[in-house]
Amino acid sequence: MGEFVRVESADGVATIRLDRPKMNALSAQVQREIADCARQVDADPGVHAVVLYGGERVFAAGADVKEMADMPYAEMSAHSSVLQDCFTAVAEIGKPVVAAITGYALGGGCELALCADVRIAGESARLGQPEILLGIIPGAGGTQRLPRLIGPAKAKDLIFTGRQVTAAEALEIGLVDRVVPDADVHTEALAYAARFAGGPAAALRAAKRAIDHGLEADLDTGLEIERLAFSGLFATDDARIGMRAFAEKTRAKFTGR
Instruction: From 180, 168, 64, 170, select the one nearest 114 (Cα to Cα).
Output: 170
Beta pairing, strands 126-128 & 164-166: antiparallel
172 near 34, Cβ under 8 Å?
no
Q: Give the active site residues.
A: 111, 131
Contact at 8 Å (CB) between 46 and 83?
no
Spatial separation of the C-alpha atoms in residues 185 and 55, rounded to whole Å: 10
Determine the 3-state secondary structure of 112 from DSSP: helix
Neighbours of 219 (CB within 10 A): 8
What is the rounded distance in angstroms from the CA atom of residue 256 to the CA atom of residue 44? 12
CB 192 within 8 A of CB 118: yes
